[in-house]
A and B are shown apart, each in its own frame.
Chain A
Amino acid sequence: MIAIFCFIAMVVTTLAITAWAGKRSRQRADFYAAGSRISGTQNGLAIAGDFMSATTVLGLGGLYFVSGWDTAIYYLAPLAGLCLMLLLIAAPLRRLGRFTLGDVMTSRLQDERLRVFSGLSTIAVSLFYLVAQMVGAGTLISLLFGLSFETAVIIVGVLMAIYIAVGGMLAATWVQIIKAVLLMVGVGILGVLCLTRAGGMEGLYERAAASGDGVSALFQPGGLKSSLFSDLSLGLGMVFGMMGLPHLLIRFFTVPDEAQARRSVTVATIVIGAVFAVLFLIAGPGGLAFVRGNPEFLGADGKMLGGGNMVTVHLATALGGELLEGIIAAVAFSTILAVVAGLTIAAASAASHDLYRTLRRKASSEKEELWVFRLSAVALAGVGIGISILFQRENIAFLNSLAFAVAASANFPLLILVLYWKRLTTAGALAGGIFGLVSSIALIIASPAVWVKTLGHATALYPADYPTLVTAPLAFVVCMTVSLMTTKSPASTPVPAQ
């Protein structure tokens, strides 16, 4: 009952924000980049809200439950990504871009083919990520609120279309800020209750170690049973992927200047680091201490109710009863809404600003482009709902890997070379980008996760689940080799973004 009340309160609040944002968003710059009037601190909170998905909040809790200490890579690698973002990308991105990654890509190499590639790549990455989030959302919401999967996915899809079509980036930003604040409060309450109930850190870890057979092994390495190659590829995929995810990168266009862009990353790092610290050091062992073996959370078959991803929600129930369960459920729901809103805005702006404007081949008015943006947001919601319902019973974890792998192998090398390598040519950029896109998709399909577990073959064609260690360096090599072999475009001098 409390969970349903929190759910309704969240929907009403976010719709009110959307109506408020809709009144303040009139021009293209408002819808795409909130008029570049968001402060660095607000944007930092929004980046944190945009990055920490349901996978972070719920999925990693479940992973810690079975793999223990080895999940550290999932908490540490994104921080390295944020550091690189601060050092290499944040300020130049703000300086060269205006609305989309395509603006940045074509700032030096003024070739519209590059803008089209950037638009397609942005839509592909965002759609992979969107479907993965929506399938997760459907499962989670149907478990939490007793709705059917289809109803849950339709609710999420309709809400995200309304947020973006009516309120644009301003609405998405505030939904993400609210989510980040709720997440910090929710995780903070969980952490305090875990420590209070267990009598401090020592009591918590003793209780966790004593909760079941072989649990102390979870505090030793080897839980993920991965090789160095696989682990390194996963880590690099997360680091480089973060710097190629369009929905995170376009957030830098919402601040007024480069100093605020840098401040954004610092604030995001502090928020993400704090939430990760509580999740890894306290909530993870808390799940073992209070949920593992607790008959209240076991089904008739002896397995956990709702599956491993529900550990964090069960922990909330164990510590704070129905009230805390409702709060954590609302946090999880807001998490989903914030991430899908960010993804939708990235894909819709790429469709209207990069693809429609370029492929139409004649000047379009700002009003016309905004209508394409709104229609794209609605179409994306429709496509997302359709694919999610179609794939609801499939293992879609690979879609998340696919989004990160494509972002790391296609977007990241291009972005770095556009910003830092003066000899990059259009041919080199296109060759490297297309190579990164195709090779990362091909190796994901050939990986054990898809080739063996989803397609049912005996052995995988490629030994690891994550291709970034191979594909990202090769994409750099292809970009640079082709650039050196081709003549530099005469129009490749730096120009301000349009």
Chain B
Amino acid sequence: MTLDCLGQKCPLPVIRLAQNIGKVAVGEVIRVLADDPAARNDIPAWCRMKGQEYLGSPEPAAFEVRRVS
């Protein structure tokens, strides 16, 4: 699943991620496209707080998260 949050200010990309994480199966990956400067910091922080796995940023303004629970 890819969430296009380009142009959205934080915390919107993190809210979209939280709203959609339950829609993928455990083990699957969500890709978030976000260009707000806070996303690079806040998406990994969300993963840590919510026990999900942050996989990294394969390209600028793209962040991948694996659902683990």
A and B, one complex?
no
